[in-house]
Every structure is written in structure tokens, then in C-alpha cells.
Amino acid sequence: MERRVSVRVLLLSFVLLLALAVQECRAELAVVLVIDKNSPVNSISTLDIRKAYLGITVVVDGQIIRPLRSRHDDRLNQIFLQSIVAMSQRSYDRRLLSLLLKNGKPRPVEVDGHDKLLEMLTRRPSSIAYMWKSDADLDERIKIIKVLWRET
């Protein structure tokens, strides 16, 4: 009888732990805005982030913000389009093309690969980029300045 109770308690504890672990993993699924750790910029408004990615010049703490785009992760790109610029891919591309065509305004630099993105972030201290929080937590050269999206 006692042995049966122990097995039940053990199973219950295992299920509980598993649920907590899943919960923990789910909580980590977030997209954050990062910048070089040595940058004087410590925060940026949601409006300024959107402006920067729409090709509008944004100055924060005396720094001209240079947005970088990740194109290597489709899901991250979808979250970027929905949560940051609130546009379809076609509308966003047209918007940037239009600025370039009208007066040569450069488009946000597109980067393929996480390592290259980190390299560019640290090379240009006023550059910002969006990435998974789990990836941002692993690199000490960058700092998180805003949570852009969290899975609910």
C-alpha cells in the first residue's frame, strides 16, 4: 500500500515538473530588440522602432539608429511584420522601395545568419536588431533593450 502511494507521489511530481518545464520553455519564447552592450542607448520607444524599420531617421541619445533585419528565420520575419511594422511583406517591401527610389534613402540592411547579425551589431554600436530572447540571452556582447513580442 505504502509503495503504491510512493509511486503515485513520484508520478505526480514528475508530471508537475514536466508541466513547470513546459511552462518555463513557453515563457522563453519571446522576440526582443537588442543593441551592442557598449551602446549608450538603453531604451527606445515602440514608435521609434517602427519608424526606424520604415526607413525614417530616428535619433536616440544622440545616436542615429541603424536597423538590421534578419531574413534567415521565417517565423521571426512573420512576427517582425505583424508586431513591429504591422504590414504585409508586399506593403513593407514597397514602402522601402519607394523611399529608395524617391531620394536614395537606404533600406535596412538584411542579414543572413545569426552570427553575421551579431558581428554587425557589435561593429556598429548604433545598430539594432530583433531576435529570439533565447538567442539574445546566450551572447554577452549585446543587451536587450525591449521585449517586442511574447507568445501568449
Q: How many residues bind other proteins (CB under 8 A)?
A: 30
Grid cell for residue 34? 537588442
In the complex, minimum distance from the CB of residue 126 to other proteins, in angstroms, rounded to a whole number: 6
In the complex, minimum distance from the CB of residue 139 to other proteins, in angstroms, rounded to a whole number: 21
91: left (phi over 0), alpha (psi -120 to 50) or beta: alpha
The answer to the question of residue 74 lying near other proteins (CB under 8 A) is no
The answer to the question of residue 90 lying near other proteins (CB under 8 A) is yes
Grid cell for residue 144? 536587450
C-alpha span between 17 and 64 (Å, rounded): 46
Comparing CB distances to other proteins, the nearer of 23 and 43 is 43
C-alpha span between 36 and 49 (Å, rounded): 16
Comparing CB distances to other proteins, the nearer of 99 and 144 is 99
C-alpha span between 97 and 78 (Å, rounded): 19
The binding site for other proteins (CB under 8 A) comprises 47, 50-51, 54, 56-57, 59, 64, 66, 88-91, 93-95, 97-98, 100-107, 109, 124, 126-127
